[in-house]
């Protein structure tokens, strides 16, 4: 039963606390709008606890990212117990494993309103029995939820076309993305200016005048890094002053091919930063951004790069179809196509005017379509609409 008065209790579930980064700013906004916020994830001593400063209450429930039936059942029981103790008005489950366990535990605990986020699905890059199995678990999570949030229109279309979720349950907020982009401050060329660009290049011993290609994300196979390695093999030879900056952690799950990892670690013109918090500054050091992923929900780094006036080379897949306007803010190529990827990158290397034109168009689009406040306001309205029908103020007056 939903509490008739007082703040709405909102409980958000992610598999790992690294996903908390997607909620920065959003939690503080919802708190000011009268929500009591609880965040649930697997315990991790290195977890970013900055959401506590925004007013979130953190809870830890161990959850495995990979398939682990016995551990998953135990996590389901622990989530059910936590939900019964807190008695939230709304449970919102994110990421594939937490999405399944969180929605099922919420239904079993009698939570009145259950949300599910589908921000890219691992099975999108798979075939065969495993894909069918994961499609089945996604359908189950969608069945358990009353509202399914996709972070792009092309992702929504994919989910519906695959029969994973009834269309009447699926929503997209604003023009897409999970949390928008702070293009006015953090990802502003004025803040990340020439001094920042020069400092980052000095840190990695990159010459000031060298063209730099960059990628931000997990260093895993599904991100298309095999094709990036193949593209680099040709481009690096043809452009001896070209450098490549790779930002993100190597992961054991879905590891890179050994020969690709050796290339990235041993080429003196390839710079590995590992996981970093100063993504905007690192992007400022680039001339071209590349995201050759096989699967995305939206492709948030594409619009972070665009906010800093970088042209984007990405793949023609659900999600990236929304984060990149092909021929306007960047170039889309088929996934798993290294020659097409190299050709698109080389086009920008040869044409600085095209780089600047697409980069400027990207920033204009981000400022217009991807304000974080747009997502926060729409999300708050939908929470209230589901939990307390009739409680939303008229459009443009809060929420």
The mean per-residue pLDDT over the stretch 31-36 comes to 95
Q: What is the mean pLDDT of residues 353-361?
A: 98
Architecture of the domain spanning 8-180+372-387: 3-Layer(aba) Sandwich (3.40)
Q: Are 35 and 7 in contact (CB under 8 A)?
A: yes
d(CA 227, CA 94): 29
Q: What is the mean pLDDT of residues 91-116?
A: 96
Quick one: fold of 194-369?
A: Rossmann fold (3.40.50)
- Residue 3 above 80 pLDDT? no
Predicted pLDDT of residue 316: 98
The three-state secondary structure class of 92 is: strand
Helix (H) or strand (E) holding 332: strand 330-333
Count how many residues are written for the chain.
399
Query: Percentage of residues in the chain with pLDDT exceeding 70?
Result: 95
Dihedral over Cα of 52, 56, 61, 67: its sign: negative
CA 147 – CA 164 distance, rounded (Å):
13
240/64: higher pLDDT = 240
Average pLDDT across the chain, whole number: 93
DSSP single-letter state for residue 13: E
3-state secondary structure of 247: strand
Which pLDDT tens digit goes with each residue over 267-295?
Answer: 999 999 999 989 999 999 999 999 999 99
Per-residue buried b or exposed e for 199-217, using 16+ beta carbons within 10 Å of the residue's own CB:
ebbeeeebeeeebbbbbbb
Q: For the chain, how big is the Rg over CA atoms in Å?
A: 21
Q: Which residue, among 300, 294, 243, 240, has the nearest Cα to 272 in the 3D structure? A: 243
Strands (E), 14-124: 35-41, 57-60, 90-93, 113-118
> What is the 8-class DSSP label of residue 256?
P
Q: What is the pLDDT of residues 299-329, one digit of tens each?
A: 999 999 999 999 999 999 999 999 999 999 9
Q: What pLDDT, on the 0 to 100 scale, is given for residue 396?
A: 35
pLDDT for the residue numbered 132? 93
pTM of the predicted structure, to 2 decimals:
0.90
Contacts of 77 (CB under 8 A, 6+ apart): none
* Residue 45, pLDDT score: 73
SS3 of 164-212: CCCHHHEECCCCCCCCCCCCCCCCCCCCCCHHHHHHHHHHCCCCCCCCE
Residue with tokens 């937490």: 98
All CATH 3.40.50.2000 domain ranges of the chain, comma separated, are 8-180+372-387, 194-369
Question: Bridge partners of 60?
Answer: 41
Whole-number Å distance between alpha carbons of 321 and 399: 29
Site of tokens 């589901």: 386
């Amino acid at each position: 039963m939903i509490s008739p008065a007082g703040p709405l209790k909102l409980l958000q579930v992610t598999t790992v606390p690294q996903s908390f980064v997607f909620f920065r700013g959003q939690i503080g906004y919802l708190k000011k709008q009268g929500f009591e916020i609880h965040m649930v994830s697997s315990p991790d001593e290195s977890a970013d606890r900055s959401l506590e400063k925004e007013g979130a209450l953190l809870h830890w429930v161990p959850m495995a990212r990979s398939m682990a039936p016995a551990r998953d059942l135990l996590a389901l029981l622990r989530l059910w117990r936590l939900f019964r103790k807190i008695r939230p008005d709304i449970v919102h489950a994110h990421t594939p494993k937490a999405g399944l366990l969180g929605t099922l535990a919420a239904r079993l605990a009698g939570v009145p309103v259950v949300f599910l986020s589908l921000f890219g699905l691992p099975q999108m890059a798979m075939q065969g029995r495993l894909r069918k199995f994961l499609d089945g678990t996604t359908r189950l999570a969608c069945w358990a939820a009353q509202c399914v949030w996709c972070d792009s229109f092309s992702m929504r279309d994919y989910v519906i076309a695959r029969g994973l979720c009834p269309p009447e349950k699926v929503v997209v907020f604003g023009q897409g993305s999970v949390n928008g982009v702070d293009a006015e401050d953090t990802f502003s060329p004025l803040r990340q200016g020439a001094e920042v660009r020069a400092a980052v290049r000095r840190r990695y011993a990159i010459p000031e005048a060298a063209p730099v290609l960059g990628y931000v994300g997990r260093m895993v196979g599904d991100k298309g890094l095999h094709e990036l390695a193949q593209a680099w093999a040709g481009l690096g030879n043809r452009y001896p002053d070209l450098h490549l900056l790779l930002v993100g952690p190597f992961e054991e799950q879905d590891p890179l091919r050994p020969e690709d990892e050796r290339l990235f670690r041993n080429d003196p013109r390839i710079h590995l930063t590992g996981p970093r918090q100063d993504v905007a500054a690192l992007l400022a050091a680039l001339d071209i951004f590349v995201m050759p992923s096989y699967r995305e929900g939206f492709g948030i780094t594409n619009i972070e790069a665009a906010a800093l006036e970088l042209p984007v080379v990405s793949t023609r897949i659900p999600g990236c179809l929304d984060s990149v306007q092909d021929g306007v803010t960047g170039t889309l190529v088929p996934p798993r196509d290294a020659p097409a990827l190299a050709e698109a990158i080389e086009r920008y290397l040869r044409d600085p005017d095209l780089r600047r034109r697409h980069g400027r168009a990207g920033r204009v689009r981000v400022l217009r379509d991807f304000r974080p406040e747009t997502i926060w306001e729409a999300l708050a309205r939908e929470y209230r609409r589901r939990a307390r029908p009739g409680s939303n103020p008229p459009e443009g007056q809060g929420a």
